[in-house]
């Protein structure tokens, strides 16, 4: 019997000190296994990093979302594959009251949670699971609220706890959610990753056995794939959920080969060690397009890459310093060197493809003399010393954080700012940045629902400072009122007016430097069908077929 990928990677892990043999073993093993996978309908996905958790309530990064909610879990409503249209999922339908404050969801019957080595459900999905999943995040006295740290970055950052006034079970297949006030993006927010439905029965079992933390490490969902095992920084194994309620492709075994280096992902794809590679290096795209064995898909990304300056630390509490840095960074150079031209300079927090984009905002031009003048006005004519965290994983909004950091370091040196570059592994980077430990850090965002609120509120809202997704930790009351009023407004014209005003404030206050809106690329073997490029940046592998 041939060893599968997991066993090979285990072997490699155990012998990692024997570096001379490892490379040969890896090539031989994965090449052999790839041949077996095609027959067994296995699918190897070269991912870019390790997930920080398998509980989508606790994460906001695409790496963790793809490893969890996109393929293990479902939500009451979801986005139609390849679009931002909201469609029924675990809720077969929903009704909204005339005052737009009460949503009544009718739940789908016959949906089963995963049966694994560590959990066997005795009942099907019902309203109790919906209440559990929301209450865990909303209710601070809920027994599971503090499990996993008690940080619900999306839920808190979007003020869902304040918005949701009540949730109750009408019958086993009907749930009613009452809002404190109308909320325009509510139904789209319900389709987002953090509103995934977890199993209350599983939670009760873990609580009884005093293993509550396992809820986030050994996931149980209703999605097309179920979790088998995870080796940090190496491999995640899933297998088909044979009881899946929806349509799926023909993949029996799904394997995430964690491969942080984009160039290595490309090589693995070329040699057949993986059948899909996420976020290829822009430098490799042109060559891959010419490869007859590969399919390259591309689209304008719903994303923004930025440099956040922590306004709670000196000297970044001074707007003149922030404006000086905005003038000192040469975005055009970064776009040529980092994105290979596959991006456009960004001047607002939202990309130009989202409604309410304020095109009248004038970007900070690259002007070293102007930057020096502003630093002098700030009382720092000789500059200062600081740190910059560089992104440790390739993301569509920043394919090479280290290289971009070096370019930024050189630019800032021209105005007297001496920058020390620092990085961490991805989960640590996320955790420390949530705590505000940084001075400057590279980060970015891919929209989750196509609504401007998903950028403004999550990344610059006052509530998001506490939840951790407001990386500059900038809380401007005037800005915050505008984006709050925009959520309460019921017509898009009024909402657009508020957001356009908010963009002017964000530009003038410069809590972050908007760097680029990039194209996104996905590359896969020609025999892989059924994949749809997600405008929201996740890799949904449910409908993949291996021919």
Range of the domain at 57: 42-265+527-546
Domain count, the chain: 2
270 located within any domain: no
| Nearest-angstrom CA–CA distance, 405 and 409 | 6
| Nearest-angstrom CA–CA distance, 111 and 356 | 39
Strand (E) or helix (H) holding 227: strand 225-231
| pLDDT block averages, 10 residues each, the chain of length 547 | 34 39 45 47 93 93 93 96 90 95 97 98 98 97 94 85 95 97 90 96 98 96 98 96 96 96 91 92 89 91 94 98 98 95 95 92 98 98 98 89 97 98 92 95 89 92 91 98 90 93 98 95 94 89 94
At 2 the pLDDT is: 32
| Nearest-angstrom CA–CA distance, 138 and 158 | 12
CA neighbours closer than 13 Å in the CB half-sphere of residue 545: 6
CA neighbours closer than 13 Å in the CB half-sphere of residue 145: 11
CATH number at residue 313: 3.10.105.10
- Same domain (yes/no): 467, 531: no
235 located within any domain: yes
Neighbours of 280 (CB within 10 A): 24
- Same domain (yes/no): 340, 240: no
Nearest partner of 222 among 207, 201, 236, 208, judged by Cα: 201
For residues 471 and 308, the answer to whether their CB atoms sit within 8 Å is yes
* Tokens representing residue 376 in the block: 């002098």
Nearest partner of 9 among 323, 258, 305, judged by Cα: 258
At 22 the pLDDT is: 43
- Same domain (yes/no): 395, 479: yes
User: Exposed, middle or buried by CB within 10 Å (0-12, 13-18, 19+), for 103?
Assistant: buried
221 located within any domain: yes
- Same domain (yes/no): 403, 312: yes
| Nearest-angstrom CA–CA distance, 94 and 540 | 24
At 39 the pLDDT is: 54
What is the SS3 assignment for 434? helix
- Same domain (yes/no): 72, 152: yes
Nearest partner of 502 among 361, 319, 353, judged by Cα: 361
Torsions phi, psi for 141 (to 5 deg): -95, 5
- Same domain (yes/no): 381, 477: yes
| Nearest-angstrom CA–CA distance, 458 and 446 | 11
At 35 the pLDDT is: 44
19 located within any domain: no
* Tokens representing residue 163 in the block: 């918005």
273 located within any domain: no
| Nearest-angstrom CA–CA distance, 67 and 421 | 29
- Same domain (yes/no): 422, 375: yes
| Nearest-angstrom CA–CA distance, 60 and 426 | 12
What is the SS3 assignment for 78? strand
At 452 the pLDDT is: 92
At 487 the pLDDT is: 87
346 located within any domain: yes
Q: Is residue 344 left, alpha or beta, with left meaning phi > 0 and alpha meaning psi from -120 to 50?
A: beta
At 40 the pLDDT is: 60
Angle of helix 200-208 relative to helix 127-138, nearest 10 degrees, comes to 60
| Nearest-angstrom CA–CA distance, 110 and 101 | 29
Beta bridge partners of 407: none
């Amino acid at each position: 019997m041939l060893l599968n990928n997991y066993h090979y990677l285990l072997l490699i892990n155990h012998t990692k000190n024997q570096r001379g043999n490892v490379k040969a073993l890896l090539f031989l093993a994965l090449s052999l296994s790839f041949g077996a996978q095609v027959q067994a309908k296995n699918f190897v996905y070269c991912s870019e990093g390790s997930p920080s958790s398998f509980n989508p309530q606790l994460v906001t990064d695409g790496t963790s979302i793809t490893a969890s909610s996109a393929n293990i879990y479902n939500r009451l409503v979801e986005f139609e594959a390849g679009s931002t249209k909201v469609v029924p999922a675990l809720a077969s339908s929903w009704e909204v009251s005339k005052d737009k404050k009460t949503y009544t969801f009718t739940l789908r019957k016959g949906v089963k949670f995963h049966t694994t080595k560590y959990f066997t459900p005795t009942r099907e999905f019902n309203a109790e699971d919906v209440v559990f999943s929301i209450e865990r995040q909303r209710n601070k006295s809920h027994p599971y609220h503090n499990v996993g740290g008690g940080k619900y970055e999306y839920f808190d950052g979007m003020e869902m706890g304040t918005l949701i006034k009540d949730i109750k079970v009408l019958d086993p297949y009907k749930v009613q959610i009452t809002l404190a006030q109308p909320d325009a993006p509510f139904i789209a927010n319900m389709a987002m990753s953090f509103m995934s439905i977890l199993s209350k029965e599983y939670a009760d079992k873990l609580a009884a056995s005093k293993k509550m933390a396992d809820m986030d490490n050994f996931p149980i969902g209703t999605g097309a794939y179920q979790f088998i095992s995870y080796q940090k920084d190496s491999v995640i194994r899933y297998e088909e959920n044979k009881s899946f309620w929806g349509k799926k492709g023909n993949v029996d075994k799904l394997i995430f080969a964690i491969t942080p280096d984009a160039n290595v992902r490309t090589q693995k794809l070329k040699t057949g060690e993986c059948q899909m590679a996420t976020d290829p290096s822009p430098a490799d795209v042109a060559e891959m397009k010419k490869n007859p064995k590969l399919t390259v898909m591309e689209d304008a990304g719903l994303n923004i890459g930025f440099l956040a300056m922590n306004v709670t630390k000196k000297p970044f509490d001074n707007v003149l310093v922030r404006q000086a840095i905005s003038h000192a960074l040469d975005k055009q150079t970064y776009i040529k060197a980092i994105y290979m031209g596959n991006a456009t300079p960004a001047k607002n927090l939202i990309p130009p493809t989202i409604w309410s984009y304020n095109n009248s905002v004038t970007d900070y031009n690259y002007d070293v003399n102007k930057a020096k003048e502003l630093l002098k006005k700030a009382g720092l004519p000789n500059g200062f010393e600081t740190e910059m965290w560089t992104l440790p994983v390739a993301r569509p909004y920043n394919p090479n954080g280290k290289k971009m950091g070096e370019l930024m370091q050189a630019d800032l040196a021209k105005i007297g700012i001496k920058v020390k570059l620092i990085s961490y592994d991805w989960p640590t980077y996320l955790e420390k940045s949530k705590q505000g430990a940084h001075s400057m850090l590279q980060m970015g965002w891919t929209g989750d629902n196509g609504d401007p609120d998903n950028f403004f509120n999550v990344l610059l809202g006052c509530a998001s400072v506490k939840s951790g997704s407001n990386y500059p930790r900038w809380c401007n009351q005037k800005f915050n009122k505008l984006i709050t009023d925009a959520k309460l407004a019921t017509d898009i014209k009024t909402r657009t007016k508020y957001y356009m005003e908010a963009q002017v404030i964000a530009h003038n206050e410069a809590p972050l430097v908007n760097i680029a809106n990039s194209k996104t690329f996905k590359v896969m073997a020609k025999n892989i069908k059924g994949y749809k490029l997600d405008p929201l940046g996740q890799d949904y592998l449910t409908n993949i077929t291996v021919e």
